[in-house]
Amino acid sequence: MKTLLASAIAVALFSVAGCAANSATKPAAVSDAKSAYVPKFDPKLLSAEVKTLASDEFEGRGPATPGETKTVAYVIEQMKGAGLQPGGELKDGKREWTQPVPLLRAAITGTPKLAFNIGGKAKKLTQGSEISVRAPLDGAKSVAITKAPVVFCGYGVSAPERNWDDFKGVDLKGKIAVVLINDPDFETGVGDFGGKAMTYYGRWTYKYEEAARRGAAGLLIVHETDPASYGWATVKNSNTNTMFDVVRDDPSATHPKLEGWIQRDLAVSLLKSSGLDFDKLKKLAQMREFKPVVLKHTTFSASYQVDSSVITSRNVVGRVEGAKHPDETVIYSAHWDHLGVGEPDAKGDRIYNGAVDNATGTAALIELGRAFAHGPKPERSVLFLNVTAEEKGLLGSEYYASKPLYPLATTVADINMDALDPMGPAKNWSQSGNAGSELLDEAKTLAQANGLAFTVDPHPEAGHFFRSDHFGFAKRGVPAFSWESGNDLVDGGLEAGEKARKEYVTNRYHQPADQWEPTWTFAGMSHDLGVLYQLGSKLANSRQWPNWASDSEFRATRDATAGDRK
Ligand SMILES: [Zn+2]
């Protein structure tokens, strides 16, 4: 799950804690005959699947490794056995089990030359300590930027629906933009961007994309721990290693040539050299009237070689075809990949098994597939999408959403599962982030009827909504969310849930110790899957098209295709 390690904290708050109610909890009473069917989810099957996927034999399930070959073969075999049909790429009029996902892999070779030039004097920058520039994701074999002008652009946000524009028509072509992280109203806590909670405008991915749209040569984000929600170490670790992206038709539309972060201290001194005060400028940037500032007598230069190549990974796709509206699709998704083989831990273990993250979600997907294949035939089609390369930046899901096998306009919803709790049960559940939608409302109602209260994400400022595989769908308007197991355990309450969470974050998350345990009961998952089945079944047997909340930044995109939905 989540590419940035810091997200572990709040994410795992729900990941580890527990799931749903005990066996005494009754399924929701629903009138419709099809919706009334609630299958049993066998904890033993879930456990066996997680055990296999997380075994050393699968080598940590790294994309484009022998671990992928084993994982993909196993998931296909399980999906077949569960009664699903292949739902992947069309070949000679027939569906395959997979969708090939070409991925660009890029790494900076050697030490990059990076420098500001202020008033004729070069200030060399050290990669990793003062600045963290990532390998370019446009397939370039080298980067050479010579004395590009530098422009401070506030939060780098252009949000017409909020009447907000940090750029005010400034020409960024061939220039380096410097921006702040998070939303303009993060610090004040009140404003046009949901206060403390982060909108997509606050995410670094958005800021890079906006800079690319404006033709900037590069974008440098000023790191500050609170608004970023993680420290510099995370920025350094996530940017200075090998980078991956989906292969795009026009990468320069998404990525400026140079993408990176600078330390706050460096930004302060940089602005000072131009006679500007960082804190004052930040205050201005929190106001609608803010105008970009060109830094006087300041330029930026960069020069480095890049090792880049294209590898191919695969999404695995199973399907149950709808009896009445086969071209309308409800999607369940979960990523199969994990970190593969890497640096050894203290015990010398090098295999990152990824049992919780995300063998659990993959097992859940297989079992939901079994339930739909054996239950009453749904009116709409249901897709079981097991995506690759989540750990490399949500890439398998991004690829599917950018090249959908079934049209997004008639995709009803995406329900994502990432790092579910193998213990539980819990009395609550949550979603990552706090984006509102009618889909989420429906989920809340069904969960409540099954004894699960909804708990809002306690850290919406960390932008978890943008860090899971449902996001590629959300960004393109499809209502979507990621189910997070609850943290208020039936046995031991919040205290026990929080204790388990801390244990997971500290000792297991993204470490070789994320391994299957014989003590795992899978009681919570077994119950929660009943709720998720009911949600998908209700959508698949209705004419409902849930939409985003009226204030959502994704609603306009969804509404633009309203004509395609009957
Ligand atoms: Zn992960």
Q: What is the pLDDT, as a whole number, of residue 342?
A: 81
Tell me, what's the pLDDT at 242? 84
Q: From residue 377, give the alpha-carbon distance in Å to each of 76, 321, 355.
A: 21, 8, 32
Q: Name the residue with higher pLDDT: 40 or 28.
A: 40
Distance from Cα 340 to the centre of ligand 1, integer Å: 11
pLDDT in the model for residue 158: 96
Mean pLDDT to the nearest integer, 7-17? 33
Q: How far is the CA of 62 from the centre of ligand 1 (A)?
A: 12
At residue 35, the pLDDT reads: 56
Tell how far the Cα of 249 is from the centroid of ligand 1, in angstroms: 27
Interval between CA 57 and ligand 1 midpoint (Å): 19
Query: How many angstroms does the Cα of residue 356 sit away from the middle of ligand 1?
Result: 9
**H helix or E strand, kind and range, residue 370:** helix 360-374
Length of the chain: 566
Q: What is the mean pLDDT of the chain?
A: 91
Cα 217 to ligand 1 centroid, rounded to whole Å: 31
Instruction: Compute the distance from residue 380 Cα to the ligand 1 centre, in Å.
Output: 31
Output the CA 360–ligand 1 centroid distance in Å. 12
Q: How far is the CA of 510 from the centre of ligand 1 (A)?
A: 6
Summarised one tens digit per residue, pLDDT across range 291-301 is: 999 999 999 99
Distance 480 CA to ligand 1 centre (A): 19
pLDDT tens string 397-428: 999 999 999 999 999 999 999 999 999 999 99
Percentage with pLDDT > 90 across the chain: 79
| More confident: 115 or 162 | 115
Ligand 1 mean position, distance from CA 31 (Å): 39
Q: Ligand 1 center to residue 38 CA distance, Å?
A: 30
Residue type, 476: R
CA of 130 to the centre of ligand 1 (A): 27
Residue 186 Cα to ligand 1 middle (Å): 26
Cβ-contact 137, 104 below 8 angstroms:
yes
pLDDT above 50 (res 495): yes
User: How many angstroms is it from 357 CA to the middle of ligand 1?
Assistant: 5
**What spacing in Å lies between the alpha carbon of 173 and ligand 1's midpoint?**
36
Structure tokens at 357: 């993250």
Residue 531 CA to ligand 1 center (angstroms) comes to 24
Distance 1 CA to ligand 1 centre (A): 3
Centroid of ligand 1 to alpha carbon of 244 (angstroms)? 15
Omega of the bond leading into 358 within 30 degrees of 0 (cis): yes
Instruction: Give 337 Cα–ligand 1 centroid separation in angstroms.
Output: 9
Determine the pLDDT at residue 551. Answer: 82
List pLDDT tens digits, range 314-333. 999 999 999 999 999 999 99
Amino acid, single-letter form, for residue 358? N
Tokens of 341: 């083989």
Out of 6-10, 398-402, 406-410, 561-565, pick the least confident: 6-10
| Helix-, strand-, coil-residue percentages of the chain, each rounded to 5 | 35, 25, 40
Give the 3-state DSSP-derived string for 269-310, with helices as H, strands as E and coil as C: HHHHHCCCCHHHHHHHHCCCCCCCEEEEEEEEEEEEEEEEEE
Across residues 350-372, what is the average pLDDT?
Answer: 97
Å from CA of 105 to ligand 1 middle: 19
Confidence of residue 25 (pLDDT cuts 50, 70, 90): very low
Q: At what angle are helices 66-81 and 43-53 packed, to 10 degrees? A: 160
Other CB atoms within a 10 A radius of the CB of residue 64 amount to: 19
459 Cα: distance to centroid of ligand 1 (angstroms): 18
